[in-house]
Structure 1
Amino acid sequence: MMIRLGLVGIGKIARDQHLPAIRADDRYELVATASRHAQLDGVPGHVDIAAMIAGDHRLGAVSICTPPVGRHAIAAAAIDAGLHVMLEKPPAATTTEISALADYARARGVTLFATWHSREAAGVGPARDWLSDKRIRAAHIRWKEDIRRWHPGQEWILDAGGFGVFDPGINALSIMAAILPAPLLLDAAQIDIPEGRGSPIAATMAMRSGDAEVTADLDFLQTGPQSWDIEVETDAGTLRLSMGGSVLELPGGEPVTREDREYPRLYTRFAELIAAGKSDVDIRPLQLVADAFLVAERRTVAPFQF
């Protein structure tokens, strides 16, 4: 059955990832958009979710790609209208918001899909399978990228509620929470917040999974080569994921690179959930970020300008 889809938010991530995935999947028909700042040629556009719902497009589902602050109200309006909802990561501004949305979707009998696109990287599933029967000794995240390259001019990302360096960093946490056999728990953190900003430009996290030490080093100011790397030390050697999970290296083997289809896989999963009448809402990565803000030592660092 064709899913008549509305897209809310037409920013960089929607244009770079969501639109190509939607257009390539014959299970979807993009019938409307909602954005205060942009429209798509040939697709009816509206200024907000209320106008889109009222537009008589016979919508069946919406995909929400707005910044996390304010997303709860958008998703709640869609659920209230009986629409299935897919959420770009992070799924909401707070853990309370996403839990409330999950409850509301359940009560209304609609699908809610809180996506974690990095989990769909080519090496993540095989990494999880390989680690399932191993003893984990330690694990390390190095997630360092250039904010000016990947988020040009996106001032909101350093506002309060914008997540700062945790916006990309939560991708690594989503992978780690998925591949480690034991729960991931936070012990301590440090966050560096530029003077006059509300969210961190860098962070470190000290965690544990079972009896294994897990560390994370997150940076939004890395120029040159970018680092999206995870290492997991086990009793059978060290597993390495690089390039955000698209390259997998197992002990004794060569790095294996496979084609990434992160967003096409997300839309496949959304269609499957709708067909099965189910939801998929894993809030563990968001909980880890919330925990970091709770316990972190805060440092004020030099002002940042795009």
Structure 2
Amino acid sequence: MSTSTTSAFQASLLPLSAVQLGRLILNIKAPHEDYVDPPAPTPPEVIKNPQRNFTELRTSSNAFKLRGRLTQLLSASYEHESKHQIDLSATIAYTYALCNSGAWFKAACAHHSIRRWLQDAIEDGDSVYLVTGYHTVVDARFGTGMSSTSTDRQQVSMPIDATGLPSMQGMDMTAGVDTSHKLCRGFGRTFEAPGEQVYAVQFRKVVFRWFSSRKIEKGMLKENQWRVYAGRGPVDRYDSNSDSEDEEDAVEASLGGLEGDDLSDDDDDDGIDGEEEDDDLGETWVSKDDESVWVL
């Protein structure tokens, strides 16, 4: 089993009321915005595991170098290096996990209000995620910091002859000017967070698969399958078969993040498409694993 999933970590803590298991969200960095909580006759089954004397330290560094020569007489180079760190500790931490998330999601799709919400997301071209877990810390101490160094360098040279006058022939010697500019900056912050707060959210991406309703009887549609009478959002612009007999007018919603569903097509707005993305403080990490996706 190979799964391309992504983890993005950013320096933020959320109140416990901002996250709910089984919630459908559009923005993985803001689970309290643009969401819907599926109606349920009974609360979802939840696992809660405690961890005592909790400490987590995350560091990341990135270096970039560029050198170029415009002519034999002019060259330039640029170097940039950045380092980031998050230090989180608490006497006790908890992990909350949604049990049987696949069955929970299918049951949620049976509700007309959830289908309407998902269809709106499809028409707007948004990615959708199901919250399947989160990490919390109690009375935690939180520290974060970043530093970066940038260096610009230019070198100009000119051939000279024995008289010290510029010469383009018989180059016995060269004279030049080498200039550089170095910029260093850093940021650090430490604070205490009273009470229980969320520092990481686990989710699974919702995957939409299209098919023609003419190939299946209406009564045979599953609870996570329904016919869509509106457009398919941005897909419509590239769908050359929209007028054919096999028009894909029905959709099936399922969960990725486990059992080989590839999440590498995540949109750039979420910043989890397998590349590192910095927020305003430069405090974002990206990594890959074989589990569901975690976002701090």
TM-score (structure 2 length as normaliser) = 0.19
* Structure whose alpha-carbon radius of gyration is higher: 2
More contact order relative to length (CA 8 Å, sep ≥ 6): 2
Structure (1/2) with the larger strand percentage = 2
